[in-house]
Amino acid sequence: MNKEISALKASKLKESGSDVAFLDVREDTELEFCRINGAIHIPMGQIPERMDALPRDEKLIVFCHHGMRSLNVVQYLEAQGFDNAINMTGGIDAWATDVDSSIGRY
């Protein structure tokens, strides 16, 4: 499975009703700027102790601000047996520019 997806393709999956979940690994303070509605929020540093909260039966699109932290999380999850995790390239910044210009950028 391809381990990266663009924000535009991720939004189309979300709109299509596909079995997909979004995981926001940004810090709590970053949520004040913008968020994707319905996304699971678990800061990167809390992933190891909160993996039980993550779905294994649907695509898990992981994102952060620009896509680097989320790429690390995808690699970590893959090493823990999650074969459904996909990094959203460009992060929420790409979502703001390519999908929903009404959400804030920082």
- 34 belongs to the catalytic site: no
Please state, as a whole number, how many other Cβ atoms lie within 10 Å of the Cβ of residue 105: 12
Which listed residue (10, 23, 60, 64) is catalytic? Answer: 64
Q: CA-CA distance, 47 to 45, in Å (whole number)?
A: 6
Would you say 74 and 85 are in contact if contact means Cβ atoms under 8 Å apart?
Answer: yes
Angle at 24 between CA 56 and CA 105, to 5 degrees: 150
Catalytic residue ranges: 64
